[in-house]
Amino acid sequence: MIKKLSRIAALCAFMSISLPALADDIQDANKLFKQGLHAQAMEKVNLVLASKPKDAQARFLKGLIQTEQGNTNEAIATFTGLTEDYPELPEPYNNLAVIYAGQGQYEKAKTALEMAIRTHPTYATAHENLGDIYAKMASQAYDRALQLEKSNTGTQTKLALIRELFGDAPKSTRSGKTTVVAAADNTAAVTPAATIPVARKAEPVAADPAAEVLKATQAWAAAWSAKDSKKYLSFYAKEFKTPDGLSRSAWESQRKQRIAAPKSISVEVLAAKAKLADAGHASVSFKQSYRASHLNIVSGKTLDWVKVDGQWLIAAEHSAK
């Protein structure tokens, strides 16, 4: 039913490895994984994690290996840990949804996919998988309705359509029975998938500046929500216009204190609209929902973004009531 497991190549679009030796080890582990040598791949991954336990790509690959080995609970723990440490990444949420769907836990799968979409609204894989989850849940509802009223022809027709799309096609003709795992060098291999059906490799798409800056805005909000002040401050350009005439160091110190003070923070970006001035300058206007242990505010906000060395950074921000 839900058939797209995020690949390690997708994660590479968000994370980079600073040490060449670790990059080589992860590439080697990924090649072993593609060859079906899961135990050897896990040994390589564990070597990377021994020296760099927070490495996102190594942990992501570990989750894929655990999934293929049938260690579902361990895979769930691995991908859950990634969502906690890197809440701006949609792929771990998507993979959790795939696992939950395989267990028939469709509510959990739906919640995970909604988090993936909230983090990355243009993540097509999560949107497609969410549609599949809705279809499966609809199938269950129609089936229950038929048990109560077997003569309802309308329900019979709807259930038959869903089963034709997802449930009753011959195994030899149904797609999504292979796992596509792409390495950092963009090569790909196909290996059998015993429990999680996975679909085709996504085709590359041209860069969309508006989508990029909207994604950056969501990632900025995710870092704030995670109370990761280091990640949050990394979104601000060197030329950022600090409020109230504060120096950059004083402003950063103030922001760190305000982020650390509440026990929890939730920042949602609502109804965001991007406006491009040119290829390197954009503004995003949205409603900001800020909830913390001591405060709950919805206000208007505009972020002015500038592209520096291929990365969108905040040059100025404006608040409105």
HSE, side-chain direction, 13 A CA sphere, residue 107: 0
Residue 109 has pLDDT above 80, yes or no: yes
pLDDT (0 to 100) of residue 220:
95
Q: Calculate helix-pair angle for 106-119, 91-102, nearest 10 degrees.
A: 170
Q: How far apart (Å, rounded) are the C-alpha atoms in residues 113 and 133?
A: 9
Query: Which is more confident, 156 or 159?
Result: 156
> Is 294 a residue whose pLDDT tops 80?
no
In this structure, the number of other CB atoms found within 10 A of the CB of residue 250 comes to 12
Residue that the structure tokens 């991908």 belong to: 79
* Other Cβ atoms within 10 Å of 82 Cβ, number: 23
Residue type, 263: K
Name the band, by pLDDT with cuts 50, 70 and 90, for residue 161: low
Distance between CA atoms of residues 110 and 139, nearest Å: 15
Residue 288 and residue 297: Cα distance in Å, rounded?
8
8 φ/ψ angles, rounded to the nearest 5 degrees: -65, -25
Least confident of 179-188, 240-249, 296-305: 179-188
Ranking 183-187, 244-248, 253-257 by mean pLDDT, the lowest is 183-187
Q: pLDDT by residue (tens digit) across 14-43?
A: 443 334 445 678 888 888 888 889 899 999
Identify the CA nearest to 267 among candidates 240, 294, 287, 237. 287
Signed CA dihedral, 157, 159, 163, 165: sign only: positive
pLDDT at 50: 92
CA nearest 270: which of 247, 250, 297, 295? 297
What pLDDT score does 33 carry?
Answer: 87
SS3 annotation, the chain: CCCCCCCHHHHHCCCCCCCHHHHHHHHHHHHHHHCCCHHHHHHHHHHHHHHCCCCHHHHHHHHHHHHHCCCHHHHHHHHHHHHHHCCCCCHHHHHHHHHHHHCCCHHHHHHHHHHHHHHCCCCHHHHHHHHHHHHHHHHHHHHHHHHHCCCCHHHHHHHHHHHHHHHCCCCCCCCCCEEEEECCCCCEEEEECCCCCCCCCCCCCCCCHHHHHHHHHHHHHHHHHCCCHHHHHCCECCCCCCHHHCCHHHHHHHHHHHHHCCCCEEEEEEEEEEEEEECCEEEEEEEEEEEECCEEEEEEEEEEEEEECCEEEEEEEEEEC
pLDDT bracket for residue 150 (50, 70, 90): low
Whole-number pLDDT of residue 131: 83
Query: Which residues, 6+ apart, have CB-to-CB distance to 207 below 8 Å?
Result: none
Domains of the chain: 8-192 (1.25.40.10), 209-320 (3.10.450.50)
**CB-based contact 194:200 (threshold 8 Å):** no
**Whole-prediction pTM:** 0.48
